[in-house]
Amino acid sequence: MQGLTRRPLATAGIAALIVAAFIPFFCHNYIVDVALTIVTYGILALGLNIVVGYAGLLDLGYAAFFAIGAYTTSLLETLTGLNFWETLPFSIVFAGIAGIVIGYPTLRLRSDYLAIVTLGFGEIVRIIATNLDITGGPNGIYGINPANFFGHDLTAPKAVYTLALVFLVGVLILVIRLGQSRLGRAWTSLREDEAAAEAVGVPTLRVKMLAYVIGALIGGLGGSLFAARFGAIDPTSFTYAQSVSILIIVVLGGRGSIPGVLVGAIVVAGLPEALRFLHNWREFIFAVALIILMLVRPQGLWPARLRHIAAPSVDEAHATPHADPAEQIAETTAGEPDVLLEARDVSRVFGGLKAVAGVNFTVHRGEILSIIGPNGAGKTTVFNCLTGVIPPTSGAIIWNGRPLTKLAPHKVVARGLARTFQGIRLFDNLTVFENVLVGMDHRFHVSLASEMAALPYARRETHLHHAAGRNWLEFVGLASQAGLRAGDLPYGDQRRLEIARALAGQPQLLLLDEPAAGMNPTEKQSLMGLIRRIRDLGTTVLLIEHDMLLVMGVSDRVIVMDRGQVIATGSPQDVQSNPRVIEAYLGSDEEDEEDAPEISSLPAGALA
Amino acid sequence: MSEFVQLLVAGLTTGSFYALIALGYTMVYGIVRLINFAHGDIFMVGAFIGWTVLSAVAAMHLPWGIGLLIAVLVAMMLTGGIGVIVERFAYQPLLSAPKLSILITALGVSLALENGVLLIFGPRFLTYPHLISNAGFTLAGAQISDVQVGIIVLSFLLMAALYVFVHHTFIGTAMRALAVDRDAARLMGINVERIIQITFFLGSTLAAAAGVMEGLYYTQINFFMGFIVGLRAFTAAVLGGIGNIPGAMAGGLIIGLLEAFSAGYISSRWTDVIVFLVLIGTLVIKPTGLFGERVVERM
């Protein structure tokens, strides 16, 4: 809860919880029962919110984890005589294991495919529970003991309600802390743009898996509570409709918004009760109300707000040891060989098209090297092969003397290659500052648990993290925009933010894919200055660019590609007078005898 | 052998329903990237409209063939109209909103259709008028009814018609253009909203045809019949590669056969488990379904 702006919300939330805690003292048992249902749904929806709201994965089978928790508690209690509290860890762990079992093979799927797979998983769990004898078949399990608290059975609705509320508070603290953690930020980056997240070093598969498993754990907890509340369970409580209800809570309330999810739980679990006077029309009116609410508020009733992390002040950031850009870069480049990267005979075939056909080149430490060539020459494909986005069909990439092939993009980033994209790919709904923080995330290693517990060394690392991020923003000249939504920045600033995000990962090699595209001459001038300053820090720069003024002005060497091959390499001057290069750009003499001008007579910018 | 043929024909029959419904899922997904969760209920509405028309026609003592034709056509047209209305009011305003919002309105429409039919027709099963005799013939020791043959033939005719429509008409070309790039299609002068409505119309008419045939085949209909059939058809669309029209047809037939054989040789209690395990297994090996194209992300 940093920053003054968040205090009113936190205060209101705590006040609401206190009021909720007093419901049993003032209200009729019926109201308490409805409130208990709302709280149970609230817990489940907070769990699903991690998957759907934070990480942006569609899950239509969340009730499966709820079922696994409920059946684990019920079976252990009735078969082994354990009490509620003793079964609780098993419920949570089994639900988590189920999350791993279903998540591991399927989380690589695109989101819509994931939807049907999770739906199928939910149905499989329910059908198994219906068909096995041990789970009591369609009749389910009876005679489950209530939770016991220091000798008192929690059977009365009021007592169960209080227990559920305590669970809700625990889950709330957990999900709020998770949302503020580095993992929470990684989830959001995943939701915003999965490929970009991977390309700036977020291990997307693992991060997805964590969302799925933590969501499952909370589902298991909700299941145990459910079993202890009713004393009996059967498969009809764990249907697809149940999963859908929980999903509706999350989306209607506001994906990723904790107050939103709680409001959603109140609406979805409470509204049908309030509509009882409609008798037969109740469900129909509820459905229509749901459609109308969604049409009126597509972002949800209480949409998630931009998460603001205050960037440290200039002085504070400068005073933090090891947070200075030059020092950060020097850390990574010390003692490495002079040849940074070598592409050996790299090829990439798409269907019948040889986009890259046996390319060889070396990148020397500390240089600015440009790759130029007509559109379709294979430049971006080379970038994609270097950064692990697509594997080369053949050939090898040698990085600091060791092969760098078949690594996932986030691992390539960890080795020290960072990139920007031809079309800007920022995390639009994160702040400028947070975009940079995501870029440097892979450098930090404090465990999630110690981060959430705010242990001293974890706080130190967070402090360094923030100071370094602040300094990178300053390096590209965006320090004063730190708190803005990244998607709201003007175009040129977005380009610079993308560069800052890539630099924040302490790369030895920075790959820039057409950074000057769409920039005006003034912006291009300042970009040239920025590229030189990056090189001066010690970071090698590999640049794809069509703007010849910029290429010729800034590059130490130039590689020219055409039709998937390197046709020339050398200094800017050598390349400009190379006949093969002129032919690639302007056509050969046979095709165009009279009009081909002497390239040497042209100004440096003419090739653009 | 006779049991095998019997199951094969039964599987092809239900597979035809699934294929027709799966086409609606896949066309809508291909064009607006929406999993239309109300589509199973559109199928159910088609069955109820067909029942209403058939009951009325039965009282007029027309030859059964003509009565049936009227019922199928009326059900297709009216259900198609409902599909368009649903699209116009529940989906179109959200086409540029976050994807999950429109998914929730689809779930809302699904609930509204089910409960609307419940309010009008009540919770009990309705019995389809007995128009066609149970006569049939024997093939390799298996009893095959005329209804089964009629369903399979009509389904294949409808699917062929759709395929020709999508590939050989201007509107079909516009639909395919939309599937590739909606904004570019708009810039080329295609009336995007209209094409989307036509897509919903076509998908809904096919589902309605399946609904009437299902009523004739199983003779009983109920307001919740759309859920399980819709789920299987959606599974079929994904299995075939969602967005891919031949994939939906093949997926539907595969799911129908899987259902028939698992019920015949194992137990119908485990049908859904088997269907979903096959689906999950397929997707793990081929992440975009049997016929789906691998989507290469541009950087």
CA distance B127 to chain A (A): 23
CA atoms within 13 A on the CB side of A129: 28
User: Quick one: pLDDT at residue B298?
Assistant: 46
DSSP bridge pairs for A363: A341
What separation, in Å, do the N-terminal and C-terminal C-alpha atoms of chain A show? 51
B277·A248 Cβ contact <8 A: no
Say if residues B217 and B37 touch (Cβ distance below 8 Å).
no
Which pLDDT score is estimated for A590?
Answer: 53
Q: Which own/partner contact pairs does A529-538 have at CB distance under 8 Å and 24+ positions apart?
A: A530/A476, A530/A496, A530/A499, A531/A368, A532/A368, A533/A475, A534/A499, A534/A503, A534/A510, A535/A366, A535/A367, A535/A368, A537/A325, A537/A326, A537/A329, A538/A326, A538/A329, A538/A330, A538/A333, A538/A366
pLDDT reading at B209 higher than 50: yes
Interval B70-76 mean pLDDT: 94
pLDDT in tens, A260-286: 999 999 999 999 889 888 888 999 999
Per-residue pLDDT tens digits for A33-70 = 999 999 999 999 999 999 999 999 999 999 999 999 99
Q: In this model, does residue A505 exceed pLDDT 60? A: yes
The CATH architecture to which B2-129+146-285 belongs is Orthogonal Bundle (1.10)
Contacts of A240 in chain B (CB under 8 A): 227, 231
Q: Are B105 and A295 a contacting pair at CB < 8 A?
A: yes
Question: What pLDDT score does B297 carry?
Answer: 44
Cβ partners under 8 Å of residue A169, min gap 6? A17
Rounded to the nearest angstrom, the minimum Cα separation between A458 and chain B is: 35
- Chain B partners of A290 at a C-beta cutoff of 8 Å? 104-105, 107-108, 111
| E-strand stretches of chain B | 126-127, 136-139, 142-145, 220-221
* CB-closest option in A252, A284, A295 to B112: A284
Averaged pLDDT, A154-176: 92
Which one has a higher pLDDT value, A585 or B278? B278
Interchain CB distance below 8 Å, A110 and B287: yes
B153: exposed, middle or buried (C-beta count within 10 Å: 0-12, 13-18, 19+)? exposed
- CA dist., res. A200 & res. A293, Å (int): 37
- Give the residue-averaged pLDDT of A407-430: 91
Chain A interface, best mutation among B99, B280, B298, by max A CB count within 10 A: B280
Q: What is the reported pLDDT for A97?
A: 96
Q: Residue B294: is its pLDDT beyond 60?
A: no
Q: Which residues of A503-516 are buried (b: 16+ CB within 10 A; e: fewer)?
A: bbbbbbbbbbbbbb
b/e map B209-247, b = 16+ CB within 10 Å: bbbbbbbbbeeebbbebbbebbbbbbbbbbbbbbbbbeb
Yes or no, beta carbons of B29 and A112 under 8 Å apart: yes
Average pLDDT over residues B245-258: 95
Percent over 90 (pLDDT), chain A: 58
Nearest CA in chain A to B242: A113
Alpha helices in A193-333 (DSSP H): 194-199, 204-230, 240-253, 258-274, 282-296, 314-319, 325-333
**CB-based contact B269 A130, cutoff 8 Å:** yes
Residues of chain A neighbouring B238 (CB-CB closer than 8 A):
113, 116
- Report how far residue A245's alpha carbon sits from residue A248's, in angstroms, rounded to the nearest whole number: 5
A114, pLDDT greater than 90: no
State pLDDT tens for residues A214-225.
999 999 999 999
Asked if A299 lies within 8 A of B107 by C-beta distance, the reply is no
Contact A124 B116 (CB under 8 A): no
| Partner-chain contact A106 B288, CB within 8 Å | no
pLDDT of amino acid A9: 82
Burial of A520 (0-12, 13-18, 19+ CB in 10 A): exposed
Question: Token match 């002005």: residue?
Answer: A553
| Residues of chain B by 3-state class (helix, strand, coil), percent to 5 | 75, 5, 20
Give backbone dihedrals phi and psi of A234, rounded to 5 degrees, phi first. -145, 165
Mean pLDDT (chain A) is 88
Residue B285 Cα, gap to closest chain A Cα (Å): 10
CB nearest to B112's CB, from A131, A291, A350: A291
Least Cα distance to A117 among A59, A64, A69 occurs for A59
B299/A384 CB distance under 8 A: yes
Least trusted range by pLDDT, from A251-255, B14-18, B182-186: B182-186
B299/A131 touch (CB, cutoff 8 Å), yes or no: no
* Shortest CA gap A428–chain B (Å): 14
**Quick check: helix, strand or coil at residue A485?**
strand
- Percent of chain B predicted with pLDDT > 90: 68
Q: What is the mean pLDDT of residues A111-116?
A: 84
Q: Which residues of chain B neighbour A389 with C-beta distances below 8 Å?
A: 299
Measured between CA atoms, how close is B260 to chain A, in angstroms? 18
pLDDT number for residue A224: 95
The closest CB to that of A113, out of B118, B275, B283, belongs to B283
Q: β-strand A402-403 against A417-419: which pairing, if any? A: unpaired
**Is the alpha carbon torsion for A478, A481, A482, A485 positive or negative?**
negative
pLDDT, tens digit, 9 for 90 and up, residues A194-217: 999 999 999 999 999 999 999 999
Mean pLDDT of B61-80: 90
What pLDDT score was predicted for residue B130?
76
Write out pLDDT tens, residues B16-52.
999 999 999 999 998 988 999 999 999 999 999 999 9
Query: Hey, are the CB atoms on A281 and B119 less than 8 Å from each other?
Result: yes
Domains along the sequence of chain A with CATH: 4-296 (1.10.3470), 310-335+428-506 (no CATH), 336-416+508-608 (3.40.50.300)
Which residues from B are below 8 Å from A116, CB to CB? Answer: 234-235, 238, 279
Positive/negative CA dihedral, A505, A508, A512, A513: negative
* pLDDT for res A256: 92
**pLDDT value for A324:** 81
CB contact under 8 A, A290 and B107: yes
State the average pLDDT over residues B106-127. Answer: 95
Position A3 confidence tier, pLDDT thresholds 50, 70, 90: very low
Region A552-570 average pLDDT = 92
pLDDT at residue number B9: 93
For residue B14, report the phi and psi dihedrals to the nearest 5 degrees.
Answer: -65, -35
Q: How far is CA A381 from CA A89, A367, A517, B293, in A?
A: 49, 21, 18, 20
Question: Mutate which of A62, A198, A251 to disrupt the B interface (most B C-beta within 10 Å)?
Answer: A251
pLDDT at A597 over 60: no
Q: Which range has the worst mean pLDDT, B113-127, B131-145, B195-209?
A: B131-145
User: Is residue B148 within 8 Å of B217, Cβ to Cβ?
Assistant: yes
Give residue B257's identity as a one-letter amino acid code: L
Residues of A in contact with B289 (CB under 8 A): 113
- Give pLDDT, residue A607: 41
Q: How far apart are CA B239 and CA B231, in angstroms?
A: 12
For residue B112, list chain A residues with Cβ-Cβ distance below 8 A. Answer: 284, 287-288, 291
